[in-house]
Structure 1
Amino acid sequence: MREDAIPLQNETFWLCNCTLARCIENNVVEIISYECPSLEPIKCANGKQPVLLTDEMSCCPYYACDCDCEGWGSSHYITNDGLTYSFQGNCTYVLMEEITPQYNLKIYADNSNCDGTQSSSCARSIIVDYNSQAFALKSIQGGAELQCFLGGTPQTLPFDNNGVTVLNTGVYLVLEIAKIGVAVTYGATEFQIDLPYQYFGNNTQGQCGTCNNNQADDCMLPDGRLVESCSVMADYWQATNVYNPDCPVPLSLPFNLPKPVLIEQPCTTNSVCHLLRSSVFEECHQYVSPHRYYEGCLFDSCHMTNPAAECTSLQTYAMACAQFGVCIHWRNHTTICTSDCPVDKVYSPCGPVEPPTCMDSPHHIPVDKVIEGCFCPEGKKLFSKESGLCVDKCGCLDPAGVPREFGERFTHNCQECICMESTKTVMCKAKECSTAVPPICNSPGFVTINETNPEDPCCTTLSCRCDSSSCPVVDSSCQAGYQPVLTVPEGECCPQFTCEPKKVCVHEGVEYQPGQTVPLSECQECSCSWNVDPETQHYQIECNSVTCDVQCEPGFEYVRSDSDKCCGKCVQTHCIMNKNGTKMFLQHGAVWSPPGDTCERYTCTHIAGSFITTNYQIRCPPFDQSRCQPGTVQLAADGCCKVCVEKETGCKVEAVVDYIIHNKCQSEEKIALTYCQGDCNSYSKYSELGDSSCSCCQESHSTNRTVNLRCLNGDVVPYTYTHVEECSCSVTSCHKATSLSSRRRRSLRLAGV
């Protein structure tokens, strides 16, 4: 009822201090004591301890169960009311949302395939949407790093703005909304959502179920219907206001999922699942049963390729134990689940969610919750949440991030600083330096420069320093065989050059390296040696007389002329030809035919100092054997073409009647003089100088006859002449035959005078 409203008759209203009043009539009010129901203990279905609350009027106490939703590994879930199920969805799902919006809070899980397999899925990020702010808690680089994003932008932690705080313990990200008591914890593949019943009792739905300490209605669909299996229910809570193009459409109800295969043993040889049932966690067994975590560990052992996937079940169970004050150092019993903390921090399974810092306000009340992570060692605390530095004493943090005690004076970046206790900040001012007296620089190359004072790096001083660019120019050239050597005497600035011998040989201004040939003399072979000349310090040139090679190849002969200064040379003397792989050597003018082929000819000609081999083929004239006298067919003298004595023009005895004249004496009458005439096989090859063959028609049988000759003085003298009886062809000298024929023709002409 409004404060200014007038109560109606018989109307009951709150008066104050849990007191009721009832309007009787005529301004008569009856005071009624407010009776609270008896306080009855309850048992929380999720295993948590009940919390004591008061009703809406803050009058009557009652017990309630705060809600705790968990997920880990390959999508193992525990609802707000403690119901366990598994779900292998690959989409973005609603974990929790308000049935009737009061605090504008929604929490989503973005699931994707683990290890690249289709048989398991993990929560790769948890999205918390609060008052139109979308925080994404993600694991990146394969879970090696955790990061918080706000609206897609990565945030530097710790984050504290608009009522939301995000912390990183080194193992978990923790998002807190202090106003409504919400805490979301996220690891690489596990999460935990703590919701106070005071704000969210009987007003949640999603994959985490209801928040009413009743497991019977946890498997509720978005339309309010209940199904028997939460594994079926979970697929229908796809986030409708998040873009998920690859999300599969849920099957139409009703449908039955295949019963999961019961796994009794881990599938890896070095499994750590047995630790959940061992003495390592024995202290926690009375508070939280390890059964559901053990089953999840076995499933991950057989469905995920990374052996470290088993660690999430142990880590999640240890976090549940920590809520009951049971801190277990379980990681020391494994080799695959070790923790990596920075060198300045130590690992603890039950550290404070908000570690104390030097900057904490005296009125700050930290979250009363413990969590696994990396914390400052005993005796130290964080300087601030932002710095992450552990310090022995509280004070200031200098610009370099180094802790300073109150009142401490120090120098930073050439400024004199002090840590102020009143403001907990560092105050700095520029350092004052004394005036430097300039020195006198007289030596060549030295100049005055302003440099850092070695005794006080924050101040400068004037000094004489060497500047080689100001040195005078010096001629640094050396003759052949020498190299310039630069030396700077001690205490000087400018260089001095000297020419020192090089390790080379020198001849006529040219340098030679050891082993190189030196052209010293034509009749000597000279080279640069490794021997050092004691006077010049150069390598010495060593020479040997040239050995002439007088051996020449076939077809050449060694000739040394007056123009040759040292050695002669091989001069060609024959034509050299290759016939069927055999080298042939022909002298100038020689003719050669291959065996069995007398018609092919090779000749050698020496022209202008060169030997030229010429090859030609003899072409025979047409030959008709039918025109030959029998028995006269034979090869010509060249051994190539056939020749014969023709029947009509053959060699035979002819006669001429004429006088015989001898020494101016003449026969008294004409006498029949016989001779041989006719064709014979003759040839003369002008292509082969000096090579001719004559087959002449000559007498083969003759007799001597005597006749009287009368001389001019009247004397008669006898004269014997040859009378040819038979003729035949015989080889003779062509030149002689020509001469005889000429004389004979002349004799015949004289006879006709």
Structure 2
Amino acid sequence: MPCSDSMEYSACRTGCVEQCGQSQFPAGEVMMGDGFMQPGGSVCFTTPREGCFCPEDSVLLGDQCVSREVCSQCVDHQGKAHQFMESWNPEDNPCLLCMCLDLQRINCTVLPCTGAKAPECGQCEVLQEKTGSKCCPEYECVCDVSCKPPDPPLCDHGLSVILTNPGDCLPVYQCVCKKDQCPVTTNTSCPAHKKLSVTPTECCDSYECVCDCQSITRSCPPGYVTTTTTNDCHCTEVTCMADKVCVVEAVVYQVGSRWQENCKSCICTSQTDGQTGLHIAQCVDPVCNQICPLVCPYALLFTLIKAYFVSGSEYSHSDGDCCGHCRKTNCVEGGRLRQASIYSHFYFTFFINHVGEQWVSPNDRCVRSECVQVNEEMFIQHTNVTCHLMDMPSCPLGSELQCNAVEDCCPACHCVPLNACVLNQTVIAAGERVMLDVCTHCECVGDKRSYRLSCRKMSCSPCSEGYTMEPIPNACCGRCVATACSIRRPDGQLISLKANTTRTDGCTKHKCSVNKDEELVLETLVTTCPPFDRKSCLEHGGKISQLGDTCCEICTEPECRRTVGHLNYIRVDDCQSEEKIELTYCEGKCGSKSLYSVDKHKVESVCVCCSSTGTVPINVSMICANGTKTHHQVLAVTGCECLSHTCPAD
């Protein structure tokens, strides 16, 4: 007798056949021929019989034998079994709640929306319903595109700004210390009343000029003016400035004042001493009356038209006396005024001349006189002057030709310097000022004998590091303009970045800008990338490329190429290869496309596949079950390319 797969044959069996579910008969035993039915649906036989029966610990469900647990399970419309009193949500309708009841009955009810509370969104986030909500609406927080993120902070003391929460809607920045960017040395210079102080900070040391002075009290010597100043450190300094006076033996004299000092006449001049700053006192010997009186016993008897020559005297000075006395040794000539030694008496003017002295006669400029001594007598010898041929000189620039024919017997011409200076073939009058360039001013100065150009050139202070001197029209010194920031790279190299420009070094971005006070500001932004294993990417044939326009790297799929693979074995019928087989194949990415065909008037799809361009047969040694050996041929790829194929119509 054939039985189904779940039943077993028995030639002689008594007992009960248990079935799933409750009986449709009334409670109590019901007699059925040579058997009876118990409550619960079990059929019992009183006499042995042949047939197909369920194995032990199994019950009959329809015409199949199943385990006892299956009797209490429910099967949904998708064929999935559920235990008794189990509840679930159908996959095709998640808004239903179904439960497995007795007699394999399923009861489904519609779920009410509980009104789940929406999440609380943070700054720069807005509430938005999820697109994947199936039954009840669900909400999530997304970034608000209209929210303006805060600017990175300005970090002090060498701290650098970094982003601590990449990917969040509201960026959070933090100032961190990078010791390698701290300045190695400082060029800070302090004034005399301050000293340089170094203050340790959380990153780079801070340098500051602090007060280091004491108040000074002193009295100035005679001739100096006391000036008291208080600096920004509240220290008092006394400065002695030279006054416009002369000081001689601790006595102060005003400029222009005169006095007598040890037979000398002294005056306080307008000239100053370069070392002391005081004015210079000039003292000269006393002006003694060195003109001795003429010896003229008959002067009262002379008329106005006749001159007499009588003996004179010579001035003699003795040590220890302020002035000397007269000693007769000179010639005396009567006539008009000749020198500063003048004695007048009864309309006569007398001149005293030493022995051997020559002069031009006051009555005739062409007669030269000489005082001659013969023995003890003094007389005047006259000689006529002979004129020579005059040589006319050529005067250089800055001088003029002057000829004198009145004072001398013979005319004489010579070059006389002008009261002027000469510069580049240009005559500049005395006292006149000229400007050589915007930084150099000159003035023609001097006395009546010589003149020269006195020039003064202004000097400009250099600009600080990162600033460039910009010239100002018609001005000597320009102004310092912010030009470039200095950046120290991790390798120690110092580079320059122009103002209002940016520079990217890997994942570090530098920005050099100028604030409203025209000061340089250097901002540094560091981008943090997700973890990336370059070695693993290259080992699997990947290609390293940048992630968008960022500095981060990603691994992209390799292009179409020939790849080497290994087969453990090949089986043909009852024969199998003896060892592993190295086999080449094509693998990689190719781009497909769809484009319009002018001939067919429609858009056609072109499938571009990584295809082989050539193969080569390889013989593989195989061993069969009966112990014999044979060979089987396989194909290995020799080249790969992206080739176009017509895509299937469907």
Higher RCO (CA 8 Å, separation ≥ 6 residues):
1
- Greater strand content: 2
- TM-score calculated relative to the size of structure 1: 0.14
TM-score (norm 2): 0.16
Higher helix share: 1
